[in-house]
Amino acid sequence: MLGSGISSSPVITDMFNQQSLSFNGTDESISLPAALAAKIATVTTTTEAEFTISCWVKVDGISASGTIFKVMNSTNNQMVLIYHASSNEFRFSCKFGGSNSVCNGGSTNAAGDSYEDDDIWHHIVGTVSATADTQSLWIDNVEKEKITTTVPALNEVFNQCSIGIAVNTGSAFWKGDLKDIAIYNRKLTDTEIGIIYNGGRGRAGNKCIDLASGSHVDNTGLIAFYRLEDEGTTAFNQIPSGTDNYDGTIVNAPTKQTSTP
């Protein structure tokens, strides 16, 4: 429900931060529509391409790798946000036209940080900008790694998109909890990432778009927002876009629970 009164951006009430989804790491996932993949492709193929994926995660013990989000056409054109268990690190990998760049936090992420089974919600953000020729990975309001790299264009249009599974292989299932996955066609600012992070950590209110706390993240460029508080088999996108609102299909009923950031 939107709050009442006049505001520069709508305020979301606390009722939208009551639940999350827990995935078993075996066969549970969310299939997102090809139309969303194509929409993301129109963002990343423009001259001034910018993209952000923002989400809250809690990691259970994963034997290999767990996929948070993936969009792709082939192995030459894909973006993936994963947790890589063997090195205890989150990774944001962007491969356009066969040229791959990976942010994994470098020494700041791999030097002893262990996220598995810590029972803590973590805010993970991946950004890529052809405007600035940069790619970044943020964990809990810290820019763990920033790569300066020329961002090439796609030579295929993205046509597959998923949450919780490596969509092309049917493997690398996510094991743990997911909440408030947001996809932007712009690069969030450092300040905006901080607002989202500080909106969590036990504070009531929405954890992704506008916060009910006086500070707001501009909704401009928000393509899709999956709150993951859904009943049944549909993961509803809270930001309808024209005639296609990019709703996802929940596969094999991940467990709904009351744990939230």
Q: What average pLDDT does the chain have?
A: 81
User: What is the distance of C-alpha 202 from the center of its chain?
Assistant: 20
Whole-number Å distance between alpha carbons of 145 and 164: 23
Whole-number Å distance between alpha carbons of 256 and 250: 12
Give 65's strand partners.
Answer: 84
Residue 246 belongs to some domain of the structure: yes
Binned at pLDDT 50, 70 and 90, residue 18 comes out as confident
Residue 185 belongs to some domain of the structure: yes
- Number of domain units in the chain: 1
2 pLDDT above the threshold of 60 = no
Whole-number Å distance between alpha carbons of 78 and 117: 28
Q: What are the start-end ranges of the E strands in 149-201?
A: 160-163, 175-184
Residue 117 belongs to some domain of the structure: yes
Residue 168 belongs to some domain of the structure: yes
Residue 8 belongs to some domain of the structure: no
**Greater pLDDT, 146 or 216:** 146
Residue 4 belongs to some domain of the structure: no
- Kindly state the average pLDDT of the residues 135-155: 88
**Domain limits at 53?**
14-257
**Greater pLDDT, 8 or 138:** 138
Whole-number Å distance between alpha carbons of 121 and 115: 9
The proportion of the chain whose per-residue pLDDT surpasses 90, expressed as a percent, equals: 40
Residue 229 belongs to some domain of the structure: yes
pLDDT of residue 166: 92
State the alpha helices, DSSP H only, in the chain: 34-44, 106-110, 190-199
Specify the 3-state DSSP secondary structure of 131: coil
pLDDT in tens, 23-75: 999 999 999 999 999 888 876 665 557 899 999 999 998 878 899 999 999 88
**DSSP designation for 4:** P
In this structure, what token pair is assigned to residue 57? 């995660």
Specify the 3-state DSSP secondary structure of 240: coil
In this structure, what token pair is assigned to residue 128? 């890529």
Closest by Cα among 183, 189, 151, 156 to 47: 151
197 pLDDT above the threshold of 90 = no
User: Where residue 218 sits, what CATH number does that domain have?
Assistant: 2.60.120.200
How many other CB atoms sit within 10 Å of the CB of residue 90?
Answer: 28
pTM of the model as a whole: 0.87
Residue 1 belongs to some domain of the structure: no
